Amino acid sequence: QVQLLQSGAEVKKPGASVMLSCTASEYTFNTYYFHWVRQAPGQGLEWMGMISPSGGTGYAPKFRARVTMTRDTSTTTVYMELNSLTVEDTAVYYCARALGDLWGQGALVTVSS
């Protein structure tokens, strides 16, 4: 069964960076776009950006200055690094495949001093 397995919860201080990973358990990894979506506590979904099969990226303007998405085809893993964290970045971060037919389990990032 195809899955997206995300890295675990993180606790960070304001100003720090966080890198999350998302590993796909399938050999067709290289044919898909992957997206990162976050959800603050009790709030709705927020699209952060995407990475294409070739590694091209597209980011929401809100995050463009401080987010980087990459992928490693050898390990079928996509990464999302978010810099200059503030308390407003506290959220569950999800990776999702293509149209959103497959999602990771989510990773809670808590930013607190």
Partner 1 sequence: DIVLTQSPATLSLSPGDRATLSCRASQSVTKSFLSWFQQKPGQPPRLLIYGASSRATGTPDRFSGSESGTDFTLTISRLEPEDFAVYYCHQYGTIPFTFGGGTKVEI
Using CB under 8 A as the criterion, which residues of the chain lie in contact with partner 1 when the complex forms? 35, 37, 44-47, 49-50, 58-62, 94, 96, 99-101, 103-106
Residue type, 71: R
Shortest Cβ distance from residue 84 to partner 1 (Å)?
A: 19
Q: Which is nearer to partner 1, 4 or 85 (CB)?
A: 4
Terminal alpha carbon distance of the chain: 40
CB of 74 to partner 1, least distance (A): 26
How many helices (H) and strands (E) are present in the chain, helices listed first? 0, 11
Nearer to partner 1, 12 or 47 (CB): 47
CA distance 73 to 20: 16
Are 86 and 62 spatial neighbours (Cβ–Cβ below 8 Å)?
Answer: no
Q: How far is the CB of 25 from partner 1 (least distance, A)?
A: 16
Residue closer to partner 1, measured from CB, 78 or 96: 96
Least distance to partner 1, CB of residue 73, Å: 23
Distance CA 13, CA 106 (A): 20
